[in-house]
Structure 1
Amino acid sequence: MIINVKVKLRSNNSRLEKISSNEYLAYLSQPPEKGKANLELIKLISKELLVPQNKIKIKTPTSRNKIVEIL
């Protein structure tokens, strides 16, 4: 399954909002340094969608509009 996630950084709290069936908006508190925001996004998707973290791959790691593959 492929989902599109638009990322908003440096938020007060982390959360994931569903926009449509395969589009989400993620608010992340971690800065985009050394992969911290991407790791937080993986943990957030894992928790919200009940998927193991090792089954989540970010296809566009440097973009704010991320394409995420869930295996």
Structure 2
Amino acid sequence: MRIYVSAKPNSKENKVEKISEDHFRVYVSEPPVKGRANYAIIRLLSEYFAMPPGGVRIFRGHLTREKIIDIFL
């Protein structure tokens, strides 16, 4: 499954908001430095979909806030 994510780093809390069937807004408290926010997004989405972090992969958008993420169910 492929989803579109709008990342919001440096947020006060970690949470996932579902905007549509394949679009999510993910708030993480980590800063976008050295991949820390990306790792936090992967960890948070894996918890949201109740799967191990290895099943979540950033397909496109490693350096931007708009990301395309593959979820391997």
Report the counterpart of residue 43 of structure 1 in structure 2: 43
Report the counterpart of residue 16 of structure 1 in structure 2: 16
Identity %: 37
Count of paired positions: 71
| Displaced runs of 4 or more, over 4 A | none
SS of match in other structure, 1:62: coil
- Aligned equivalents of 2:33, 2:48: Cα separation in 1: 23
Deviations 1:34-56 (A, max 9, x none): 11000000010010111210011
Q: TM-score, normalised by structure 2?
A: 0.92
Report the counterpart of residue 56 of structure 2 in structure 1: 56
- Aligned equivalents of 1:14, 1:53: Cα separation in 2: 16
Report the counterpart of residue 71 of structure 2 in structure 1: 70
Say what the alpha-carbon RMSD is for the aligned residues. 0.7
- Aligned equivalents of 1:51, 1:68: Cα separation in 2: 14
SS of match in other structure, 1:46: helix
